[in-house]
Structure 1
Amino acid sequence: MKIYEVKSITDTLLKAINILIPQLTSSSILLTKKELEDIITSENTVLFIAEEKEIILGTLTLVLNKIPTGSKAWIEDVVVDEAARGKGVGKKITQFAVDYALNKGITKIDLTSSPERIAANNLYQKLGFKKRKTNVYRLHR
């Protein structure tokens, strides 16, 4: 399995992303090529892909933030294809993103995961993430 940062978009990549994201949330909408380009060309966003034998197995987005209290990273939209779950893809892609952030000097890495995603929550804890005592709020208009 190889994991890499996406630098350019292909139709195959766009199709794979649009198959994976609905497996994460049913409220998602399909990305256009332009929207995916905006993600990979952003200075603050890094899109990683896990691939084996030219089949895309999973994706993860790392968001980098410089704020007054220091640089931080957020891991977002981690999704592994249903057919590839339980094979270490999530672990490898998450560790790859953590290593990427650490190599950039970022030592505060956050993520959120729904409580019903038991396997994902167990994985993050095994990788050293600690549950924080904080409230997460969202304004959705």
Structure 2
Amino acid sequence: MARHVRDIMTSRLVTVEPQTPVTTVARKMRDEDIGLVLVMEGDELRGLVSDRDLVVRSLAEGGDQEQRTAASACSGDIYALTPDDGIDRAVQLMREHSVRRVPVVDHGHPVGIVSLGDLAVERDPGSALGGISAAEPNR
């Protein structure tokens, strides 16, 4: 059984700059089969855009989505873990802040993401969420 975040995190990161149109962000999510994109300014993590953020902060507001940017849709509060944090810390952080995905940072630089699905696969692979999360993507 994994003991640290580094053991279950996804290390494939997809990033965009703050001025990236939300339509580009959405296409990246679709093409990469992911639900979270990191908003980076240079080497600094500025925010996160989730699939839910796109719906609630962008699409629901209406207007020209080509004019809306990742910065306008991103979650400003960033709750992060380190690779050496324990799995229990990841569960606690997600519960405490009601988030489904958390970036993993090492010395200030993003190195991965831990999702609720990653935790389910690790902790309860026989559960519905564990099974769905472990399945091949629907394309």
Could you say which structure has the higher strand fraction? 1
**TM-score, length of structure 2 as denominator length:** 0.29
Which has the larger share of helix? 2
Compare relative contact order (CA 8 Å, sep 6+) and give the higher one, 1 or 2. 2
Provide TM-score, normalisation by structure 1.
0.28
